[in-house]
């Protein structure tokens, strides 16, 4: 379906079921698209969940002619798009709880989203994430600003890509930091909507968004009883192999005073743990168990897909 945010058309995937336990709103990652979550969404369908996911600005079918770039503040406007998706489906299914699941770049959007819309949500899953602060964010802000000024905001930010993804690839055979599943890695590489280099505009807006996290004002806005699951691969370099995820857990529980935050790290799993077929029943099952608890539904034994 297409949702219009002002004049901007946002492409939204739907995986519907009748009489859903809850709606799961997926917020996808950088340089990918929502269609990649089809198998996972169908798994959730099989357990009674209605799933929706938009292609973000600069991504997928929303901006297929300008991948990696959209004008104005991409991060902030994407947050507004997510709010539109949330409001649209809450109106359509007024008595159905909504649970947001943000992955990677989408997880940082979700970190902001729960501060703004926590009262509308039944729960949140922050997947493939980290606690990004200080030097890394400052350096990224400077490089992206300089790149935009000297090269133009639409220019692919290859230097930032090299500094980030290049660093992630170290320590993995063949640089396969994305996942342990060769089939998944090849599918990502061959997908025309994946693996593109995002623009200096994208990164400038992204780092600005990161600077708004973990402040006293941010902590104050968080709903203290919101159920949150922090879930990642233990070998995920985005989460500093678990260290960054644990820092995020400490921030939410100790500094922000949140009372219902859970942490789950999967051993021998990398960034896209949801797409690793090895132990898929365990990984998808962990997400399903959290969803069932948040939706107030009886837990089911997940079947491997």
Domains of the chain: 2-132+212-295 (3.40.50.1820)
Q: Give strand pairing partners of 233.
A: 266
The β-bridge relationship of strands 49-54 and 22-27 is parallel
CA distances from 46 to 34, 54, 87, 121 (A): 19, 21, 24, 22
How far apart are the C-alpha atoms of 165 and 277, rounded to whole Å?
Answer: 23
Q: Which segments in the chain show pLDDT lower than 70?
A: 298-305
The β-bridge relationship of strands 123-127 and 8-15 is unpaired
**The pLDDT of residue 218:** 98
Q: Are 128 and 171 in contact (CB under 8 A)?
A: no
Task: Print burial letters for 130-167: b (CB count within 10 Å at least 16), e (below 16).
Answer: bbbbeeebeebbebbbebbeeeebebbbebbbeebbee
Q: Are 294 and 21 in contact (CB under 8 A)?
A: no
φ/ψ of residue 185, rounded to 5 = -65, -40
**The pLDDT of residue 165:** 86
Beta strands in 243-289 (DSSP E): 261-266
**The pLDDT of residue 134:** 79
Half-sphere exposure of residue 201: CA atoms within 13 angstroms, side-chain side = 17
In the DSSP assignment, the letter for residue 199 is B
**The pLDDT of residue 159:** 93
How far apart are the C-alpha atoms of 177 and 271, rounded to whole Å?
Answer: 7
**The pLDDT of residue 175:** 83
- Nearest in space to 124 (alpha carbons), one of 16, 233, 228: 228
**The pLDDT of residue 278:** 77
How far apart are the C-alpha atoms of 123 and 100, rounded to whole Å?
Answer: 7
Read off the pTM: 0.95
């Amino acid at each position: 379906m297409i949702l219009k945010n002002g004049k901007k058309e946002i492409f939204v995937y739907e995986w519907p079921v009748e009489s859903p336990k809850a709606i799961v709103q997926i917020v996808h990652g950088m340089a990918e698209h929502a269609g990649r979550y089809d198998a996972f969404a169908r798994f959730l369908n099989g357990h009674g969940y209605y799933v929706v996911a938009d292609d973000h600005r600069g991504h997928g079918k929303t901006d297929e002619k300008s991948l990696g770039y959209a004008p104005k503040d991409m991060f902030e406007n994407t947050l507004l798009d997510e709010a539109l998706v949330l409001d649209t489906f809450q109106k359509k299914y007024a008595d159905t709880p909504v649970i947001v699941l943000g992955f990677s770049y989408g997880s940082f959007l979700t970190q902001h989203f729960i501060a703004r819309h926590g009262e509308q949500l039944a729960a949140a899953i922050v997947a493939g994430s980290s606690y990004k602060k200080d030097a890394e964010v400052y350096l990224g802000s400077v490089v992206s600003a300089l790149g935009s000024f000297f090269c133009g905001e639409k220019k692919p930010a290859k230097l930032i890509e090299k500094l980030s993804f290049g660093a992630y690839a170290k320590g993995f055979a063949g640089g396969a930091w994305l996942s342990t599943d060769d089939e998944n890695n090849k599918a990502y590489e061959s997908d025309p909507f994946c693996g593109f280099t995002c623009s200096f505009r994208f990164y400038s807006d992204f780092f600005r968004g990161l600077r708004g996290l973990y402040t006293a004002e941010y902590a104050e806005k968080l709903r203290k009883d919101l159920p949150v699951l922090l879930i990642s691969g233990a070998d995920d370099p985005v989460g500093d192999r678990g260290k960054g995820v644990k820092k995020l857990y400490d921030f939410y529980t100790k500094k922000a005073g949140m009372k219902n935050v859970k942490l789950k790290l999967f051993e021998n799993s990398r960034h896209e743990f949801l797409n690793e077929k090895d132990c898929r029943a365990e990984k998808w099952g962990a997400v399903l168990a959290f969803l069932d608890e948040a939706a107030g539904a009886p837990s089911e034994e997940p079947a491997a897909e």
